[in-house]
Chain A
Amino acid sequence: MAKYLLLKHYRGAPEAVNCVPMEKWTPEEISAHITYMNDFAARLETTGEYVDGQALAPEGTWVRFDGEGRPPVTDGPFAETKDLIAGWMVIDVDSYDRAVELAGELSAAPGAGGQPIHEWLELRPFLSETPNADADCH
């Protein structure tokens, strides 16, 4: 089993195919989208592949150490950044292929016009695997 992080971006990802801001959808389209996401997570819980999922607020702050005895420096909101994470889901799956399959499924969540958004999701493996025992044998 391997853990993967699925990252959803507010900004920074390549543009989705069906790219319409959510407030321009109809309320029914928004409900359909939310239902799809919830059902997806619920289904992964039943298959034992769901680990965690969280949504993030669009605001963030850069913070940096500024020397002993001084308060950390903050650089206000992420004005300059190219990338903004909207939320994540952690899955625990058998293979990379399964992780790609699930990410693809999540990207098919319905958006404006009831059509899939085709948004880009970032898939990142966790560096938590113990080294494979056979690797040493060769």
Chain B
Amino acid sequence: MDDLLLRSLIPGVLGILVRRGADFAAAEDAVQDALVEAIRVWPADPPRDPKGWLVTSAWRKFLDATRADTARRRREGLADEEPAPGPVSGVDDTLQLYFRCAHPSLTPGSAVALTLRAVGGLTTRQIAEAYLVPEATMAQRISRAKRTVSGVRFDQPGDVRTVLRVLYLVFNEGYSGDVDLAAEAIRLTRQLAAAVDHPEVAGLLALMLLHHARREARIGADGSLVPLAEQDRGRWDTAMIAAGVRILQAALARDRLGEFQAQAAIAALHADARTVAETDWVQIVEWYDELAKLTDSPIVLLNRAVAVGEADGARSGLAALAALDETLPRYAAVAAHLHERDGDLATAARWYAEAARKASNIAERDHLTRQAARLNSRGGQPPGA
């Protein structure tokens, strides 16, 4: 049985149950129960209409679970009035689900977990594995999140940007269990793009594809981080890059620029260069200027300083950096890079060591420690020089 197909049906089924008046938390449990039954029954007896089958089965599970409640009579009345399940356009329901799972009342971590469970159809165990926490811990987090959004009413459309932020968080989690969260985020964003016509949804999808296309080249054989300039560009997935660029171009043509489209444009310019030297840094700086107008994130200005260093020389990059706050994450790494390009290797080595101390993950810390070590031990010759 196709696990992906099954999972892609979940948001629609869940949406229908919620629209019929089922409480969100109870509906979610019922859908999970129906999935378990589908996995058991379908291989021997595949349904003609899988989604209809799931709706019927989940609705029954929901009724079973609530029948003992004091609300029994009302629930059954609700079931009688409901037309028989048939092919339903799930578009609006699916969207509603995305908005619910990304609701601003949830913390980002809870929104991500709930999205993976309710929209992505992952099991609690799979989500727990991806986050390296015990299953019971993740189960509690998801229950809390479900309770938080259970009473939320949806009479007006939510903010699509909140949904996109949650999907981008999922994408950046990478993978550690048996589920590749980056691939999962791409699948969900594709699904969202099919349901909602918004250039930023396309922008995020393009951005994810362009990053994902470089993933193989980003990690060395020993698990170490390989920076963009040193990546083997032959290992980039050119078909995925082409798909990302196509989606981005269609989005840009609509002339409603947003931050994901601008970020995707920068990623596309990197992907387009066959060698580091061919990178169009001047255009990248222009896109960073656009991006800075769209967001007040100081991280954008930090990345812009790197691009300016490449386009106009290290001195200009350092001047752009001087205007920024030293406590920004990755400030030290950028300072180290620009000082090295400026030829001040002792200062660069000090900044690399400082950046290593502040790194938030081991791969990054090891990479930055190696950079400091390279400048300290070889009189600053770059690798291969």
Which A positions have Cβ atoms within 8 angstroms of B? 21-27, 29-31, 34-35, 38, 55, 57-58
Select one of A30, A55, A57, A58 contacting B373, CB under 8 A. Answer: A30
Interface presence of B366 (CB below 8 A): yes
Q: How far is the CB of A110 from chain B (nearest CB, A)?
A: 14
Select one of A23, A29, A38 contacting B353, CB under 8 A. Answer: A23
Q: How far is the CB of A21 from chain B (nearest CB, A)?
A: 8
When distances are taken between beta carbons in the complex, the residues of chain B under 8 Å from A38 are 223
Structural contact, B373 and A34, CB atoms closer than 8 A? no
| Known interface pairs A23-B353, A35-B222; A30-B360 also in contact (CB < 8 Å) | no
- CA separation between A31 and B374, bound complex, in Å? 12
Interface presence of B357 (CB below 8 A): yes
Q: How far is the CB of A126 from chain B (nearest CB, A)?
A: 18
> Chain B 200-224 against A: per-residue CB contact (8 Å), 1 yes, 0 no?
0000000000000000000000111
- CA separation between A26 and B373, bound complex, in Å? 5
Select one of B222, B356, B362, B378 contacting A23, CB under 8 A. Answer: B356
| Known interface pairs A30-B370, A31-B222; A24-B362 also in contact (CB < 8 Å) | no
> Chain B 353-374 against A: per-residue CB contact (8 Å), 1 yes, 0 no?
1001100101000100110111
Structural contact, B360 and A25, CB atoms closer than 8 A? no
Structural contact, A25 and B366, CB atoms closer than 8 A? no
Interface size class of B (residues with CB under 8 A): 10 to 19
Interface of A is mostly: helix
Which B positions have Cβ atoms within 8 angstroms of A? 222-224, 349, 352-353, 356-357, 360, 362, 366, 369-370, 372-374, 376-378
Structural contact, A55 and B362, CB atoms closer than 8 A? yes
Measured CB to CB, the nearest residue on chain B to A34 is B366
When distances are taken between beta carbons in the complex, the residues of chain B under 8 Å from A25 are 373, 377
Structural contact, B222 and A30, CB atoms closer than 8 A? no
Q: How far is the CB of B146 from chain A (nearest CB, A)?
A: 29
When distances are taken between beta carbons in the complex, the residues of chain A under 8 Å from B376 are 23-24
Q: Most A CB atoms within 10 A — which of B223, B356, B373, B376?
A: B373
Q: How far is the CB of A93 from chain B (nearest CB, A)?
A: 23
- CA separation between A40 and B184, bound complex, in Å? 33
Structural contact, B373 and A23, CB atoms closer than 8 A? yes
When distances are taken between beta carbons in the complex, the residues of chain A under 8 Å from B352 are 23
Structural contact, A30 and B369, CB atoms closer than 8 A? yes
| Known interface pairs A30-B370, A31-B370; A24-B222 also in contact (CB < 8 Å) | no
Measured CB to CB, the nearest residue on chain B to A22 is B369
- CA separation between A27 and B369, bound complex, in Å? 8
Q: How far is the CB of A54 from chain B (nearest CB, A)?
A: 10
Q: How far is the CB of B99 from chain A (nearest CB, A)?
A: 33
Structural contact, B360 and A23, CB atoms closer than 8 A? no
Structural contact, B377 and A27, CB atoms closer than 8 A? yes
Measured CB to CB, the nearest residue on chain B to A58 is B357
When distances are taken between beta carbons in the complex, the residues of chain B under 8 Å from A29 are 373
- CA separation between A55 and B364, bound complex, in Å? 13
When distances are taken between beta carbons in the complex, the residues of chain A under 8 Å from B223 are 38
Q: How far is the CB of B358 from chain A (nearest CB, A)?
A: 8
When distances are taken between beta carbons in the complex, the residues of chain A under 8 Å from B377 are 24-27
What 15 new A-B contacts, CB under 8 Å, besides A25-B377, A38-B223? A21-B353, A23-B356, A23-B372, A23-B376, A24-B373, A24-B376, A26-B377, A26-B378, A27-B374, A29-B373, A30-B366, A30-B369, A30-B373, A31-B222, A34-B366
- CA separation between A45 and B203, bound complex, in Å? 43
Question: What 8 pairs between A and B have smallest CB-CB spacing?
Answer: A23-B372, A23-B353, A26-B377, A27-B370, A27-B373, A25-B373, A27-B374, A30-B370
Structural contact, A57 and B370, CB atoms closer than 8 A? no
When distances are taken between beta carbons in the complex, the residues of chain B under 8 Å from A57 are 360
Q: How far is the CB of B339 from chain A (nearest CB, A)?
A: 15
- CA separation between A55 and B360, bound complex, in Å? 10
Measured CB to CB, the nearest residue on chain A to B383 is A27
Q: How far is the CB of A29 from chain B (nearest CB, A)?
A: 7
- CA separation between A83 and B339, bound complex, in Å? 33
- CA separation between A38 and B362, bound complex, in Å? 12
When distances are taken between beta carbons in the complex, the residues of chain A under 8 Å from B357 are 58
Q: How far is the CB of A52 from chain B (nearest CB, A)?
A: 10
Select one of A23, A35, A55, A58 contacting B369, CB under 8 A. Answer: A23
A-B contact pairs, 22 of them (CB 8 A): A21-B353, A22-B369, A22-B373, A23-B349, A23-B352, A23-B353, A23-B372, A25-B373, A25-B377, A26-B373, A26-B377, A26-B378, A27-B373, A27-B374, A29-B373, A30-B369, A31-B222, A31-B224, A31-B370, A34-B222, A34-B224, A58-B357
